[in-house]
Amino acid sequence: MEHALHTHEHPQSFWSKYIFSTDHKTIGLQYIIMGLIMASVGGFLAYVFRMNLAFPGEYIPFFGNLNPQEYNTLVTNHGMIMVLWVAMPILLSGLGNLLIPIMIGADDMAFPTLNMLSFWVFFISSIVILSSFFVPSGGFAGGWTLYPPLSAGAYHNTRPEFWSAFFSGASLMIIAVALEIIAMLMGGINFLVTAINKRAPGLSAFKLPIIVWFLCIASLDFMFSVAPLVAGAIMLLFDNILGTGFYDPARGGDPILFQHLFWFFGHPEVYVILMPALGVVAEIITVFSRKTLFAYKFIVNATVLAAILSVVVWAHHQFVAGIDPRMATFFSIGTIIISIPFAGIFLSYMATLWGGSIRFTTPMLWALGFIGLFLIGGLTGLFLGSNTFDIYAHDTYFIIAHFHYTLFPIVFFGFFASFYYWFPKFLGKNLNETLGKLHFALTFIFFNGTFFLLFFNGLAGQHRRIYNYSLFSNVMQEPYRTFEKIATISAVCLILSQFIFLINLIITLRKKEKAVDNPWNAATLEWQTSSPPPHGNFPEPISVNYGPYEYSNPQFTTDFVPQNQKI
C-alpha cells in the first residue's frame, strides 16, 4: 500500500495554508468554523421567534418588532440552516475530515483537491442561503420542508418572469440546498475511498476505530438517499422559474410527490447526522471507562441494518397527507422496528460503561449527556411511529419537543463531546476543565428548560408555526402560557451559556502551555503522533498490531496499548 509521507512542510503562503488548503485537518476546521458561524445565525433566528412566542407583538431586543411574514421566514430558515448548514458540516464533513485519515494512519484524504473544492462549494451555498434574506421578496417563508405550493408561489402565476423568480427567496433556498448537497457528496466519496484504500498496514476492517465505520456508513446512507431530493428540488426550481407544473394539481402535477421525494432523503438524514455522534460517544466512553467497546461487530452490523431500514420508512412523516391506510400500517411498523438496532447500540454502550473505571472529564460528561437526552428523543419517537398517535400529535409542539430532543443532543452534545476530546490533539492546547464542565451543566439544564415542557403544550393541542397564540384562547390557557415563557427564558439562557465555551476557547488559545501528545491515554492512532499533528500526520510509516480499544487488558503491564505498538 502506498503510504506517501510528507514530513517536511514546504513554504506556504497564508492563502495556500489557511484558505485554499488541501490538508484534511485545515479543511475539517474550516467546516467546523463555518458550521459554528451558521449555528450562531440559526440560534439568533430562534431567539427572535421564541421571544415573540412568549411575548407576542412586543419589542424584541437586538431585533425590533416581528411581523407575521418575518416570523415565518425566521422559523423556515432556522430549520433549514440548523440541519443542512450546521449539523452536516460539523458532524459529517468536519469530523470526517479531521478524523478519518489520521485514525487510519494515512497522510491525507485520497483526493485532497476534491476535498478543498467540497468546502468551497459548501461555502458558496452558505452565502446563497444567507443572501436569500436580502432579495426584494424576502427570505423563503413556507416551511423548511419546502412543500409546494407554498414553495412555488402557490402557482398564482404560471408564466413567471425568469430573473425575478430566480432571485426569489424560495429559488435561492433551493439552489443553496442543491449546492450544499453537491459539497457533501464530494466529501462522502472522499471518505469512502480514503477509508478503503489508505489504511495503514495491519489495520483490518474490524480494527478500525468505530467512528470511522459510523462516518462511512453515514456517507453511504446520504449518497443513497439524496438523489430523489435533488431531482425533486430541480423540478421545484423549474416550477418556480420556468413555469412548469410538476407539483401543480391544476396542470396534472402532484404536490404529494414532492413530500415523498423530500422525506425519502429527510428521514435518513436524521441517521446521517446521528451516526457520527454515536461514533464520538463510543470513542469517548471507552477511553474514560478504560474498557473495550462491548459488542463491536454487533454495533457495526446494527448500524448497517439501521441505515437500510432508514430509507424504507420515510412516509411516517406523511400520515396526514392522505396515504393509503394499509401503507400507513407498513410504515408505522417499519418505523418502530428501526428502533431495535439503535436500542442494541445503546445497550452496548451501557455494557461498555458497566463496571468501568469511569472518569467524569468534560468530554465524558457531554457524551453521557448525549445518551440521556437522546433516549428521551428516541422514546418519544416510538409514540410518533404509531399512525394513530401521530395523526393527533402532527404539527404540534410535541413534535417540536421530540425532534429537538433528537437533534440537539446529536448536533451540540455530540459536537461538544468531540470538541473537548480532540481539541488537545488538533490545536495542541488543553481547554479549561472547570469552564468546560460549567458549560456542560448550564447547557444541559437550560436545554431541558427550553424543550421539556413543550411536550405538554403539544399534548394540549398547541400547534406550531403560529405567529401569535393570543389569537387562540384555547391554547393560551394556563399553565401552557407560562410554559411558553419558561421555554423562551431558558432558550435565552441556553444561548448565553455558549459564551462560556467562547471564553474558554479564547483563554486557551492565548495561553502558551502546550498539551501533551496523549493526555487521555487513548489507544487509537491519532494520539500516537505529536499535537498538533504535522503535515502528513505521522513522522514515519506506521503499522497496526492491536485493536482500537485495548484498555485494562490483564495481558499487558500498561493500562492501554496503542494500536501501533510493536508486538
**What is each CA distance from 8 to 5, 18, 534, 542, in whole angstroms?**
9, 17, 9, 17
Length of the chain, please?
A: 567
pLDDT band of 10, cuts 50, 70, 90: low
Q: Which three cell numbers stand for residue 341?
A: 438496532
Q: Which three cell numbers stand for residue 75?
A: 422559523
pLDDT score for 43: 97
| pLDDT exceeds cutoff 70 at 8 | no
**Does the predicted model carry a pTM greater than 0.85?**
yes
Tell me the C-alpha distance between 533 and 427, whole Å.
9
Q: Which three cell numbers stand for residue 449?
A: 428548560
| pLDDT exceeds cutoff 90 at 508 | yes
pLDDT score for 200: 96
**What is each CA distance from 526 to 25, 96, 259, 532, in whole angstroms?**
12, 13, 43, 10
Looking at per-residue pLDDT, the higher value among 8 and 240 belongs to 240
| pLDDT exceeds cutoff 90 at 299 | yes
ω into residue 532 within 30 of 0, thus cis? yes
| pLDDT exceeds cutoff 70 at 320 | yes
Q: Which three cell numbers stand for residue 546?
A: 492491536
Percent of the chain with pLDDT over 70: 98
pLDDT score for 3: 47
pLDDT score for 450: 97
| pLDDT exceeds cutoff 80 at 292 | yes
Tell me the C-alpha distance between 379 and 198, whole Å.
39
Residues with Cβ < 8 Å from 205, sequence gap 6 or more? none
pLDDT score for 127: 97
Residue 463 bridge partners (DSSP): 396
Percent of the chain with pLDDT over 90: 79
pLDDT score for 18: 80
pLDDT band of 98, cuts 50, 70, 90: very high
pLDDT score for 9: 55
Tell me the C-alpha distance between 536 and 95, whole Å.
17
pLDDT digit string, tens, across residues 28-83: 999 999 999 999 999 999 999 999 999 988 999 999 999 999 999 999 999 999 99
Tell me the C-alpha distance between 417 and 365, whole Å.
8
pLDDT band of 293, cuts 50, 70, 90: very high
pLDDT score for 315: 87
pLDDT digit string, tens, across residues 378-389: 999 989 988 889
Residues with Cβ < 8 Å from 429, sequence gap 6 or more? 423, 508, 509, 511, 513, 514, 515
Q: Which three cell numbers stand for residue 513?
A: 502551555
pLDDT score for 523: 96
Q: Which three cell numbers stand for residue 455?
A: 411536550
Q: How many helices (H) and strands (E) does the chain have?
A: 19, 0
Q: Assess contact for 258 and 325: CB atoms under 8 A.
A: no
* 542 Ramachandran zone, left/alpha/beta (phi>0; psi -120 to 50): beta
pLDDT band of 133, cuts 50, 70, 90: very high
Q: Which three cell numbers stand for residue 399?
A: 413534535
**What is each CA distance from 59 to 64, 97, 381, 486, in whole angstroms?**
5, 43, 36, 18
Tell me the C-alpha distance between 86 and 38, whole Å.
6
pLDDT score for 4: 45
Alpha-carbon torsion angle 531, 538, 185, 112, nearest 10: 110
Q: What is the mean pLDDT of residues 117-135?
A: 96
pLDDT score for 2: 44
Per-chain mean pLDDT for the chain: 93
Tell me the C-alpha distance between 378 and 376, whole Å.
5
Backbone angles phi, psi at 563, to 5 degrees: -60, -30
Q: What is the mean pLDDT of residues 336-365?
A: 96
Residue 64 bridge partners (DSSP): 60
Burial class (CB in 10 A: 0-12, 13-18, 19+), 51: buried
Q: Which three cell numbers stand for residue 159?
A: 408564466
pLDDT digit string, tens, across residues 441-483: 999 999 999 999 999 999 998 988 888 887 777 777 889 989 9
pLDDT score for 14: 80
Task: Name which of 282, 555, 321, 291 is nearest 418 in CA terms.
Answer: 282
Tell me the C-alpha distance between 138 and 35, whole Å.
23
Question: Hey, what amino acid is at 290?
Answer: R
Residue 60 bridge partners (DSSP): 64
Q: Assess contact for 31 and 119: CB atoms under 8 A.
A: yes
DSSP 121: H
Tell me the C-alpha distance between 212 and 472, whole Å.
50
Backbone angles phi, psi at 179, to 5 degrees: -65, -40
Tell me the C-alpha distance between 134 and 163, whole Å.
15
Q: What is the mean pLDDT of residues 325-339?
A: 88
| pLDDT exceeds cutoff 50 at 5 | no
For the chain, how big is the Rg over CA atoms in Å? Answer: 24
pLDDT score for 498: 97
pLDDT score for 465: 85
Q: How many CB atoms lie within 10 A of CB 428?
A: 16
Task: Name which of 360, 153, 338, 367 is nearest 240 in CA terms.
Answer: 153
pLDDT band of 25, cuts 50, 70, 90: very high
